[in-house]
Structure 1
Amino acid sequence: MVMLDVVADKLHFEPMTVRLGAVVSGVDLRETLDQDVINQLSDALVKYKVLFFRGQDITREQHLAFGRRFGELEIHPLTQHKEGFKTQDIAPEIMVVESTAKTPITADEWHSDVTWRKEPSLGSILRCIVSPKVGGDTLWADMEAAYDGLDQQTKEEIEGLTAMHDWKPFRQAMYAQPGTETLVKELKAKYPPSEHPIVRTHPVSGRKSIYVNNPFTTNIKGKSREESMELLTKLYRTASTPDYQVRFRWEPHSIAFWDNRSTQHYAVGDFFPEHRLLERVTVSGDRPF
């Protein structure tokens, strides 16, 4: 069967809020996509920050192929050691996120992915295979809008500051599993804490955003713990502002593609003990500046 290229003039983006999120139509991700389509999707990702697709019954191979059109795919070095997360032996770039009655998991804290890496992810493409009957939504927050909403005094205070990021939550989960001490020691040596600017500049748009998050940011360099926590807590809270958010209801064959450089996300844990199964591929990113 010969697959025809999808042409760019069929694409349509329906905004979900005035700040972020758009539903994409006019594209079939099972097909070979014309480079112009990829370019339009890349531009839309920067503009809308999260792109949503419905009715995309794709295979793992098609999921991988779509992700690779936006860059090299990364292999998450830690989640395969955490209960509820696993990678496929045949495709380690695929991270399976599964919650069941016996192993309920979710990421119910506002965060940006792997900020503890020197070069955090550009973005992730998450597709739903099994959705709960009710609940289990994911929210995204526009951290560029969050920065714009800061008072001028705070903007001046954080300009030029850097913060340290660490993967402590994953270590805690790994320590709970017997026999992981040696592995944790090796991973600590391989992935030491990373230092990133508190105000990140988007490499494409040039817009500024708040680039700290509660799970992974540990302290502000050059400030006492008390000073760090006071300022960081203030910045963490900005993601919780409803005006900066978009909420997505999962259903089978739906997909979300988010820009990890300008957003944070929160997976709501209101569906236990129902089954939820998603698979994710992640596009490698660059060093924040």
Structure 2
Amino acid sequence: MTQAATRLDVIPQSGHAGAEIRGVDLTRELAEDEIGTIRDALLKWKVVFFRDQFLDHDQHLRFSSYFGKPTPAHPLFDSIPDPDYPTIYPIFRDRFKARIANSSGYDKVRWHADVTAAVNPPFASILRAETLPPYGGDTQWSNAVAAYNGLSAPVQRLADELRAVHRFTPGDGAKPTEDYLRRVERRPLVSEHPVVRVHPETGEKALYVNPGFTQYISGVSPHESRRLLGLFFEELGRPEYTVRFKWEPGSIAFWDNRSAVHLAPSDLVTEHDRRLYRITLEGDVPVGPDGRESVALEGEPFEAV
């Protein structure tokens, strides 16, 4: 990496989540202080955005490597990536339709953090846009630290003691293909995580459940689990904790998977193409307020290649 740096501008996009970073060219090598500024902004705002950054795969990988080690593109769908770039996951509109096999699957997109069914979910994801429809397809993020802080003190104390099981599933109401189901059955991925995760860098507490992967809370009745998760999910989705990002060609979103959840677009019903590429970075095992780590119930850790 280089030593001479330009001044970066960090521009907040909402009250609790999201900042746009300007004044940097991600196609070149970055200086140490530029990397530090980006990381500090990520920790504060949970997701950072860049515009007009037309990276190729190699430049995407180099930028990602400043912050961590890339994982395989996906824990289940290893046949999807380009063999020359096994850590880059292509997100195409037609590929999503083929995986879910029914347009009703779009209606079941939910808030989630990436791959929390693994015992060590990715610490971050870096998504770049190449081809986009002229309208629709926005992505939203929510600050899970703000969501925890929004709970009353008695509910926080209860949440601090709870653990929940996360599983990789197609999602309620979706109609997956037979190939999708075979892959899920062949590589089950199930873990028990603390409901509240202590961020390993900032020490902040974040709600660490999400509708996309969390199945139930351990040690309570199904009725209690549904009610508690409903409360936590509602808090995560409160509009004041969120930011909405309108993609353009050359846009990049970089989010902290430990303290943010995101909502993929569900309005991709036009005939326009949409093509993005994602790299996820290896994460550590979550730890709760009581010091207990997450536990793998089925499947292997999601480790860097």
> Normalized against structure 2, the TM-score is what?
0.85
Matching residue of 1:112: 113
CA-atom RMSD, angstroms? 2.4
Matching residue of 1:275: 273
1:234 pairs with 2:228: no
Matching residue of 2:143: 142
Paired AA for residue 83 in structure 2: D
Matching residue of 1:69: 66
Paired AA for residue 68 in structure 1: S
Moved more, 104-113 or 206-215: 104-113
Identify if the C-alpha distance between structure 1 residues 180 and 48 changes in structure 2 by more than 3 Å, giving closer, same or farther: closer
Within 2, Cα distance between the matches of 1:269 and 1:175? 16
Unaligned runs of 5+ in 2: 288-305
Moved more, 162-171 or 141-150: 162-171
Secondary structure of 1:247's counterpart equals strand
Identify if the C-alpha distance between structure 1 residues 7 and 160 changes in structure 2 by more than 3 Å, giving closer, same or farther: farther
Secondary structure of 2:92's counterpart equals strand
Within 2, Cα distance between the matches of 1:123 and 1:7? 26
Contact 1:8–1:40, Cα closer than 8 Å, also in 2: no
Contact 2:53–2:250, Cα closer than 8 Å, also in 1: yes
Aligned length: 278
Residue by residue, what CA displacement relative to the aligned partner does 1:100-153 show, whole Å, maximum 9, x if unpaired? 496577683101111110100111110001111111100000111111111122
1:266 pairs with 2:263: yes
Identify if the C-alpha distance between structure 1 residues 177 and 12 changes in structure 2 by more than 3 Å, giving closer, same or farther: same
Residue from 19, 36, 40 that aligns with 1:39 = 36
1:94 pairs with 2:88: yes
> Normalized against structure 1, the TM-score is what?
0.89
Matching residue of 2:302: none
Matching residue of 2:122: 121
Identify if the C-alpha distance between structure 1 residues 180 and 116 changes in structure 2 by more than 3 Å, giving closer, same or farther: closer
Shift of 1:178: 5.0
Identify if the C-alpha distance between structure 1 residues 172 and 155 changes in structure 2 by more than 3 Å, giving closer, same or farther: same
Within 1, Cα distance between the matches of 2:164 and 2:210? 10
Matching residue of 2:2: 5
Paired AA for residue 153 in structure 2: Q
Shift of 1:186: 3.4
Matching residue of 1:162: 163
Within 2, Cα distance between the matches of 1:199 and 1:179? 31
Identify if the C-alpha distance between structure 1 residues 280 and 40 changes in structure 2 by more than 3 Å, giving closer, same or farther: same
Aligned sequence identity (%)? 40
Within 2, Cα distance between the matches of 1:232 and 1:77? 25
Paired AA for residue 115 in structure 2: V
